[in-house]
Amino acid sequence: MNWRGIGSIYRFEMHRFARTLWTGLVVPVITTSLYFIVFGSAIGRNFSGDIQGAASYGAFIVPGLMMLSLLMESIFNASFGIHMPRFTGTIYEILSAPLSPTETVIGYVGAAATKAMTVALVILATAHIFVEVQIAHPLLMLLFLALIAITFCLFGFIIGVWAKGFEQLQIIPMLVVTPLTFLGGAFYSVAALDEPWRTITFFNPFVYLINGFRWTFFGTSDVSFGISLAITGGLLVVCIALVGLIFRTGYRLKA
C-alpha cells in the first residue's frame, strides 16, 4: 500500500477544506440554529412527551439534521474532489502516478469523509446549545456515521466521474438526495404517517439510514438497527462495485 501517495491526495484535499474552513463550518452552525428556531420552537411546542426516546422534539430532529448535512457534504466533497482533476486535465497525472485505483479512492474518499464527518459533529455540538441530547450508543453512533459518510463519498465519487460539468454535479444531490432525506423521516416519525404513505415511505432507502442513526441516539426508531445496518452495508457494496467498474473500464477517466 502506497501510504505516501494516499497521504498526498488526502493532504491536498484537506488543504482545500482548510482554505474555506470559516465558511465551511459557520454555514452549518447558522443553518442548524435556524432549524432549531423554526422546527424546534415553532413546531416543537405542538409536541408533548417523549418522541421515540427523545426528551423533546428538538432533540428528536438532531440525528436528522446531522444526516441531512452529512449526506450533502459527503456527495459534494467527493464529487468536486474528483471532478476538478477531470476538468483541469490533471486526472492523467493521477492515473499515471504509482497509485492503484484502491489507493486513489482511499485518498479522495478518506478526505471527503473526514470533512463531512467534521461538519456533522459541528452540528451536534451546535445542537447542544439549544437542546439536551443524550447519545445511548456513542461508539456505534461514530461508527455508523463513518459508514454512511464513506458510502456516500463513494457515491459522490461516482457522480464526480459521471458529471460532464459543474451543473450536473448538483442534479442528483439537489433533486434526488435532498427530497428523499426530507421524506425519509429526518424531521418526523414514520409511525405518524397514515396509510398508504407509511408503507410507501419504507421503499425510501434513506428511511433506514436516518432511523439507524437515530437508534444510536435514543435506542429506538421506526425500523430495527440491524435492518438499517444491512441496507447501509448493501449500498456500500454497490458503490464499491461501481467504482471498481469505473476504473476497470476507464469510464470518463481516460477519454
Work out the average pLDDT over 60-79: 91
**Is pLDDT above 70 for 89?**
yes
Query: 53 pLDDT exceeds 70?
Result: no
| 116 Cβ contact list (under 8 Å, min separation 6) | 69, 70, 73, 74, 77, 149, 152, 153
What are the DSSP calls for 127-182, one per residue?
HHHHS----S-HHHHHHHHHHHHHHHHHHHHHHHHH-SSHHHHTHHIIIIIHHHHH
Q: What is the mean pLDDT of the chain?
A: 87
**pLDDT score, position 102:** 92
* Predicted model pTM: 0.91
Show the cell assigned to 237.
Answer: 457494496
Please report the pLDDT score of residue 192 as a whole number.
81
What was the pLDDT predicted at 52? 67
Q: Where are the domains of the chain?
A: 3-249
Can you say whether the dihedral through the CA atoms of 144, 81, 240, 97 is positive or negative?
negative
Q: Which residue has the higher pLDDT, 34 or 55?
A: 34
Residue 5: what pLDDT? 86
Residue 44 has pLDDT above 60, yes or no: no
State whether the Cα torsion 245-251-252-254 is positive or negative: positive
Check residue 51 and give its pLDDT.
67
Q: Say what the pLDDT of residue 46 is.
A: 59
- At 140-158, the pLDDT tens digits run 999 999 999 999 999 999 9
Over residues 183-231, the pLDDT tens digits come to 898 888 888 888 888 899 999 999 999 999 999 999 888 899 999 999 9
pLDDT, position 241: 96
- Reply yes or no on whether the pLDDT at 182 is more than 60: yes
Tens digit of each residue's pLDDT (9 = 90 or more) over 1-35: 888 888 988 998 888 777 777 777 788 888 888 88
% pLDDT > 90, the chain = 44
